[in-house]
């Protein structure tokens, strides 16, 4: 399997800068998800890597070899598209066999009438059929080999598209939002199947998605991309718990992270609308504008005291095992969301409550949107 290195790649379409000095390394047999909102440049980066677009500057290396001048067919990368891109006139077997037919058979051997009678054709076609059946068995579509794409469900078409990519045994797999056309239940099933497939193959994957659930559940590492820049690359747990940029913090997590404008105070505290809240970050000078962020599970609803934010309950949401409480706090633009256990009781709409936040779970961001470091014990 391949090691991929993307080094300071730039790409513009007219006045629009799609990629801004993007660098990313993917190790052998690693599953990396490129996660970001629509229009952030994810698919453009994938197409540059595949050789379908040419970057304006920067370089791409596969196994240490620069491939900037190599066409797509010489990079030995398999791409799975959002639209599946199956040939409607071919059977499932024919679709899976396409890359092998193009690689192993000469143009005369590929002719429908003459080809089968050319020297060596029968042996080569036999090896192609054997490889198709082997991969079809891996993806559990062997019983569909005689069908046409129009006779398949969305999940079956997705498996066929993946089988077509696998059969050629590429150096790496590039996947461009391959599950976005499936319904929610089937997406969950396919996520599990893709993760298991990747473990069986030991393959290198670069997976493009705007769905954080896909990225969080399948990836070894996630590269968060916004506005043509990769802001952070880390494990799913680290991305969620230790975001380095306020944009990463706001993009990751459902329900959304709470973000409050605050002012730094003395002795490891911040002021929020007159209340003082203890934090574990190394703050800038007193009086500086900062942003305080915390996940809903880090907030607790209780009585109002000096260490809590005073607010009014505006909405509650039941999620079965827990529920969400929305609290409007004076001076805070959006309601604070707290995740609570049903056993703790549910406050009434309109009730005044206190919101306390564990200092160890707070994240502080400076005016430049970057994370402030935590204080080290003295």
Closest by Cα among 55, 64, 66, 83 to 26: 64
Q: What is the DSSP letter of 83?
A: T
Instruction: Name the strand (E) or helix (H) holding 98.
Output: helix 92-104
pLDDT for 377 equals 46
pLDDT for 328 equals 95
Contact criterion met (CB below 8 Å) for 138 and 197: yes
Q: End-to-end CA distance of the chain: give it in Å, rounded.
A: 47
d(CA 361, CA 279) in angstroms, rounded, equals 9
| Token pair of 93 as six digits | 């077997």
Closest by Cα among 214, 234, 331 to 224: 234
d(CA 97, CA 100) in angstroms, rounded, equals 5
Q: What are phi and psi of 145, to 5 degrees?
A: -60, -30
| Global pTM value | 0.87
Q: Write down the domain spans for the chain.
A: 4-241, 255-365
pLDDT for 378 equals 47
pLDDT tens, per residue, the chain with 378 residues: 789 999 999 999 999 999 999 999 999 999 999 999 999 999 999 999 999 999 999 999 999 999 999 999 899 999 888 888 899 999 999 999 999 988 888 878 877 777 777 888 888 888 999 999 998 988 889 999 999 999 998 888 988 998 998 898 888 999 998 888 778 888 888 888 888 888 888 889 999 999 999 999 999 999 999 999 999 999 999 999 999 999 999 999 989 999 998 888 776 777 777 677 777 666 667 778 889 899 999 999 988 887 788 899 999 998 878 889 999 998 888 999 999 887 777 889 999 999 988 878 889 898 889 998 776 544
Do strands 258-264 and 289-294 pair parallel, antiparallel, or not at all (unpaired)? antiparallel
Choices 3.30.365.10, 3.40.50.300, 3.40.50.2300, 3.40.50.1000: CATH for 4-241: 3.40.50.300
d(CA 359, CA 300) in angstroms, rounded, equals 12
d(CA 277, CA 267) in angstroms, rounded, equals 11
Fold of the domain spanning 255-365: OB fold (Dihydrolipoamide Acetyltransferase, E2P) (2.40.50)
Instruction: Name the strand (E) or helix (H) holding 352.
Output: strand 352-357
CB atoms inside a 10 Å sphere around CB 56: 14
Q: What are phi and psi of 212, to 5 degrees?
A: -70, -25
pLDDT for 106 equals 80
Q: What are phi and psi of 47, to 5 degrees?
A: -70, -35
Q: Quote the strand ranges of 256-351, DSSP E.
A: 258-264, 269-272, 275-278, 289-294, 299-302, 309-318, 323-329, 336-340
């Amino acid at each position: 399997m391949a090691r991929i290195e993307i080094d300071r790649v730039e790409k513009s379409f007219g006045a629009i800068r799609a990629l801004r000095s993007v660098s990313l390394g993917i190790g052998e047999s690693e599953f990396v998800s490129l996660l970001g909102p629509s229009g952030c440049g994810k698919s453009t980066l994938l197409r540059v890597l595949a050789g379908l677009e040419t970057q304006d500057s920067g370089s791409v290396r596969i196994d240490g070899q620069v491939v900037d001048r190599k066409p797509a067919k010489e990079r030995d990368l398999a791409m799975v598209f959002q639209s599946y891109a199956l040939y409607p006139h071919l059977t499932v077997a024919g679709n899976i066999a396409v890359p092998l037919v193009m690689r192993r058979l000469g143009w005369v051997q590929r002719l429908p009438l003459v080809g089968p009678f050319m020297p060596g054709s029968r042996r080569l076609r036999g090896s192609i059929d054997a490889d198709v059946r082997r991969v079809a068995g891996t993806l559990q579509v062997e019983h569909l080999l005689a069908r046409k794409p129009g006779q398949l469900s969305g999940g079956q078409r997705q498996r066929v598209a993946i089988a077509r990519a696998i059969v050629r045994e590429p150096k790496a797999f590039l996947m461009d939002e391959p599950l976005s056309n499936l319904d929610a239940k089937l997406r969950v099933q396919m996520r599990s199947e893709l993760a298991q497939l990747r473990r069986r193959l030991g393959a290198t994957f670069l997976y493009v998605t705007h769905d954080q659930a896909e990225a969080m559940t399948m990836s070894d590492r996630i590269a968060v991309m916004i506005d043509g820049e990769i802001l952070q690359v880390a494990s799913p747990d680290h991305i969620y718990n230790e975001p380095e940029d306020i944009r990463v913090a706001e993009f990751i997590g459902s329900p959304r992270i709470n973000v409050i404008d605050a002012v730094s105070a003395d002795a490891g505290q911040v002021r929020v609308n007159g209340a003082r809240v203890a934090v574990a970050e190394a703050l800038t000078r007193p009086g500086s504008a900062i942003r305080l962020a915390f996940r809903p599970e880090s907030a607790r609803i209780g009585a109002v005291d000096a260490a809590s934010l005073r607010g009014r309950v505006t909405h509650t949401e039941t999620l079965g095992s827990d529920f969400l409480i929305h609290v409007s706090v004076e001076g805070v633009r959006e309601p604070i969301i707290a995740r609570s256990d049903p056993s703790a009781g549910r406050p009434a709409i309109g009730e005044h409550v206190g919101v306390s936040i564990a200092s160890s779970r707070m994240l502080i961001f400076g005016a430049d949107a970057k994370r402030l470091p935590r204080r080290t014990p003295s």
